[in-house]
Amino acid sequence: MKIAIDIGHNLPCDGGAVGFLNENWCNTAVGMHLISMLEKSQVEVIKCKPGSADDLRDSLKRRVTTANTAKADYYISLHHNAGGGKGSEVFYFSNKGGALASAIVNELALLGFENRGAKKSTHYYVINWSEMPAIIVEACFMDTKTDCELWQRVGAKAVAEAIYKGLNQVLKFSSTPVSA
Ligand SMILES: [Zn+2]
């Protein structure tokens, strides 16, 4: 099985949210743990964050092109939210994406984040242009103090483990739990 992991933002032309925590940093920290766990479970990980891009649209296009070219089975985009909300939400479009989104958001809620649910959406480039089921994980809000305090208390590894567990519930790539 091939899973494309898109560590969101982290380019000069495509910066993440900055609040009580920095989204670029949180996406990378969670992504590194998640990639390590998946690789330990013999999942082939396609790393989608480009080394450079001309602008925001080019950044998104390069990520999706990498996944499409590699013929990844699933596309997981890692983000943290902003805009004054509270808790975790996961966006999807396809039915299979919906199953992954529900499983992951429920696991994130077990860490203590408010469960904003799995949300069907056509408004995101990576969901629209990827050829495989795709989801965008928004683990919590960078501009909400209580969310950031909880994120720091549980840590990037626990957030990655929650995403891993949700993926594994649906995709069943590992029969034994793997730790980050
Ligand atoms: Zn983001």
- The pLDDT-based confidence of 176 (bands split at 50, 70, 90) is confident
User: What is the domain partition of the chain in residue ranges?
Assistant: 2-171
Structure tokens at 22: 């920095």
* Exposed/middle/buried for residue 123 (C-beta within 10 Å: 0-12, 13-18, 19+): exposed
- One DSSP character per residue, 126-167 reads HHHH-SS-EEEEEEEETT-HHHHHHHHHH-HHHHHHHHHHHH
Instruction: Calculate how far, in angstroms, residue 5's C-alpha sits from the geometric centre of ligand 1.
Output: 14
**Is 179's pLDDT higher than 80?**
no
* pLDDT digits 0-9 by tens, 16-62: 999 999 999 999 999 999 999 999 999 999 999 999 999 999 999 99
Cα–ligand 1 centroid distance for 52 (angstroms): 17
Give 160-174 pLDDT, tens digit per residue.
999 999 999 999 998
Q: 96 CA distance to ligand 1 centroid (A)?
A: 22
119-154 pLDDT, tens digit per residue, is 999 899 999 999 999 999 999 999 999 999 999 999
pLDDT for 178? 66
CA 24–ligand 1 middle distance (angstroms): 8
Q: Please report, for residues 18, 88, 113, 180, the alpha-carbon distance to residue 144 in angstroms, rounded to integers and kept in the order given.
A: 11, 12, 12, 26
The answer to whether domain 2-171 has CATH 3.40.630.40 is: yes
- Across the chain, mean pLDDT equals 96
Surrounding ion ligand 1 within 5 Å at CB are 8, 16, 79
Contacts of 116 (CB under 8 A, 6+ apart): 85, 86, 87, 88, 89, 105
